[in-house]
Structure 1
Amino acid sequence: MNIETKQMIAAETAKSIYVAYPDLWDRFGEKGFIHTEKDNHHHLDHLETAYSMEDEAIFLDYTKWLETVLTSRGVETGLIIDNFDRLIAILPGKVSDTEEAFMLGCLKSANELLRQA
């Protein structure tokens, strides 16, 4: 995934989250929005790493860590699930077919993991 594609996906995801949850502006402000966009870059970086290593566990381990960090900062697990759902909706057509299939599988597995927590 090139940097322009990654930036576009991260920005689109962050914007859609803040449109769907306008109370996040009150809770976290502009700084929170910027962090949401950066977090999506991290999500995509970890998806790329998992893909390059052909190991979904890399993304699932990241997901466990992410949940611990974000919930300690007042972000509910449901928002992480919602974020991954948005990536599932936004990602198609933006990367190769094999990369897309792998990444969508990782995101869906991660959401299953988060729902069980």
Structure 2
Amino acid sequence: MKEIIETTQAPQAIGPYSQARMFGNQLFTSGQIGINPQTGEVVSGGIGAQAKQVLENLKQVLIAAGMGFDDVLKTTVFITDMNNFAAVNEIYGQYFTGKLPARSCVGVASLPKGVLVEIELIACSHK
């Protein structure tokens, strides 16, 4: 069974895609960027503030799917400047503890809305 997962607690899609799709007990999210879901604006404060907002947005998508960060199997992190890796890693480590997911980190030339970081994930419910 394929199901679209949506929540108003995370930014709405800015294109023709879903926040996430469920396939059986697996969740595949679209990339989240540092947009405040209430204002629709990119958060100010640099890479740390954006990374925190990204992870808060992903948290809300996980909640909408009945999951949490412990259910995450794999993440992909996209950053526009590899010099920001340590700052993103510090925030990331506040959300992922215990059984850590696999992760890739990719340096990219640019991201939507001029943001500095984007993260997508794959999760699997144990229910």
TM-score (norm 2): 0.37
User: Which of the pair is proportionally richer in strand?
Assistant: 2
User: Which of the pair is proportionally richer in helix?
Assistant: 1
